[in-house]
Amino acid sequence: MRVTGVLSIGFLLVTGLSFAQAQQDQTQPVGTMMEFMYSMVHPASNEILLAVNRGGPQNDKEWADVQRSALQLAESGNLLMMRGRARDQGEWMKDAKALVDVGAAAYKAAKAKDGNALAGLTGQIDAACVSCHKQYRPNVHPKQS
């Protein structure tokens, strides 16, 4: 079994494919982009923003909820960059990376139970969403002349 794995990796290297590329080729989106946004990104960002607007998490359960949502937000950005979801390699990737970065920062703040740090991220969460929507959902954010 071990020899087969080594041979497989050797084959990938000889053919010019990396192990990561081979694994990436196995990923496939399941829902539509709208379903993904409504099921993953919107609830996660909304949970964080509402917690901050209500004065910050008040107990361990609320902090755990924000921590979960922050992790979901960060990992959603990673999923938006995968083949089959990424719309382009320019602005889309930049916006998705912004979602990863702000989600990771919110996760760190929630783990530390740092309400001030979490509150300081609300503008970045909003900016990550608005930037993408302006580019890819012009019906939501029409361009100003």
Q: How far is it, in rounded angstroms, from Cα 4 to Cα 10?
A: 10
Q: What is the DSSP letter of 37?
A: I
Nearest 5°: the CA angle 126, 131, 132 is 105
What digits encode the pLDDT tens for the residues 115-131? 999 999 999 999 999 99
Parse the chain into domains and list their residue ranges: 1-29, 31-136
Encoded amino acid at 53, one letter: N
| pLDDT, average across residues 58-77 | 97
Q: What is the architecture of the domain spanning 31-136?
A: Up-down Bundle (1.20)
Q: What is the DSSP letter of 142?
A: P
Q: How far is it, in rounded angstroms, from Cα 73 to Cα 86?
A: 16
| Angle of the 60-80 helix axis to the 42-53 helix axis, nearest 10 | 140
118 burial level (CB within 10 Å; 0-12, 13-18, 19+): buried
Between these two residues, 5 and 73, which has the higher pLDDT value? Answer: 73
Q: How far is it, in rounded angstroms, from Cα 59 to Cα 113?
A: 10
Q: Provide the whole-model pTM.
A: 0.79
pLDDT exceeds 90 at position 14: no
Give me the pLDDT at residue 141, please: 63
Between these two residues, 49 and 139, which has the higher pLDDT value? Answer: 49
What digits encode the pLDDT tens for the residues 26-50? 778 889 899 999 999 999 999 999 9
